Amino acid sequence: MNKWLKIGLQVVFVGVIFFLGYALLGSIAKPIFFNEKYEGRYDLVKEKMIKIRDVQIAYQTNYGKYTNNFDTLVEFIRNDSLILIKAEGSVPDSIYTKATSKLEAELRALELGLISRDTIKISVMDSLFSKPYDIDTLRFIPFSSKEKTFQLNASIIKTLSKVDMPVFELKVHNNSYLTGLDEQLIINKNDAARDNEKYPGLIVGSMTEVSVNGNWD
C-alpha cells in the first residue's frame, strides 16, 4: 500500500472515531442538560403559582369567591387588608374541666377577662410577601416572553350535596416556560404526560371540583 495512502486512511479513521465519539457524547449530554434546565424552570414556575394560589385564597377569604382577573388580584394585594385574630392569654384547666366543649371554655374565659381576642388588620402585601416583590409581574410566566401570562379561571360549581362553592384554576403549558430548550425533548415530555393522561404542564386548583392542590401534590 502506498505510504501516503496509508497515512490518509489513518487520518480518516481517526476523524471518524472522533466524530462518532462527539456524537455519542452529545446524545448523552443533551438530555442531561435539558433535565437540569427543566427542573430549575419547573421549580421557579411552581413557586410563583403557589404564590398566586396564596393570593387567591386570601381574596376568597375576604370576598367569598375567587377571581379570574390578574388586575383584580394586583389591586387586592396593593390596597386591601386581611383580618386576623390576635389571641392573648390561655384558658385555665379548671375552666376546661367544667366546660362541655373548647368553645364553651373559651367563651367563659373571655367573660372572666382571662383571655382576649383582638381583631387586627394587616395589608395583603405584608401578610403574603416577606420581601419586596414586583406584583405587576405576578401574571407573567417565567422564562417566556413578557406577553405570555398564566391562564386563570374562576367560577362557582354545585357540589354533590347541592352547595354552591367557588373554584379557580391556574395553569401553564410546558411549551410556555421551556422556550429555547430542545424542541424534540419538549415534545417527548408533553407526549409522556398525555400518555399518562396528565396535563402537559402545571395546574393549581380545578374547575370541576373544590381543590386548591397543584398537580405536583
Q: What is the pLDDT of residues 105-150, one digit of tens each?
A: 888 888 888 888 778 888 999 989 888 889 999 999 999 877 799 9
Q: What is the pLDDT of residues 81-97, one digit of tens each?
A: 988 777 788 888 888 88
Give phi and psi for 121, each to the nearest 5.
-115, 140
Measured CA to CA, the distance from residue 46 to residue 54 in angstroms comes to 12
Model pTM score: 0.76
Q: Quick one: the chain helix, strand, coil %, rounded to 5?
A: 50, 20, 30
